[in-house]
Amino acid sequence: MTNPDDQNGQTGQPGQMGQTSLPVLTLRKGEERRLSAGHLWIFSNEVDVAKSPLTSFTPGDCVRVESSQGRPLGSAYVNPGALIAGRVYCQDATRPLDAELLRSRLASALALRESLFDQPYYRLVFGEGDQLPGLVVDRFGDVLAVQIGTAGMERRREDIISILTDLVRPTGILFKNDLPGRELEGLPRVVEVAAGTVPDEAEIQENGCRFVFPLAGGQKTGWFYDMRANRALAASLAKDRRVLDVFSYAGGLGLACAKAGAASATCLDASRTALEYAAKSAELSGLADRVETLCVDAMAGLKDLRAKGQSFGLVSVDPPAFVKRRKDMEKGLTAYRTVNRLALELTGDGGFFVSCSCSQHVGRDDLRKVLSGAARDAGVRLQILTSCHQAADHPIHPAMPETEYLKGFLCRVTRPGRGL
- Give the Cα separation of 368 and 207 in Å (integer): 27
242 DSSP β-pair partners: 264
Residues in the chain: 420
H/E stretch holding 352: strand 347-357
Distances from the Cα of 420 to the Cα of 225, 341, 377, 414, angstroms: 41, 21, 17, 11
Pairing of strands 143-148, 135-140: antiparallel
Query: Long-range pairs for 92-95 at CB < 8 Å and ≥24 separation?
Result: 92/4, 92/5, 92/6, 92/7, 92/8, 92/9, 92/18, 93/9, 93/22, 93/64, 93/65, 93/66, 94/7, 94/9, 94/11, 94/18, 94/19, 94/20, 94/22, 94/64, 95/4, 95/7, 95/18, 95/20
Give the sheet arrangement for strand 347-357, strand by strand.
291-295, 264-269, 242-246, 312-317, 347-357, 407-414, 381-389
176 DSSP β-pair partners: 191
Asked if residue 394 lies in contact with residue 129, where contact means CB atoms within 8 angstroms, the answer is yes
H/E stretch holding 299: helix 298-307
Q: Of the listed 62, 356, 358, 411, which one is catalytic?
A: 358
Asked if residue 261 lies in contact with residue 209, where contact means CB atoms within 8 angstroms, the answer is no
- Give the Cα separation of 246 and 420 in Å (integer): 30
Q: Can you state the angle between helices 298-307 and 329-344, rounded to 10 degrees?
A: 30
Per the annotation, the verdict on 356 as an active-site residue is no
- Give the Cα separation of 391 and 110 in Å (integer): 15
Task: With H, G, I as helix, E, B as strand and everything else as coil, classify residue 120.
Answer: coil
Residues designated as active site = 358
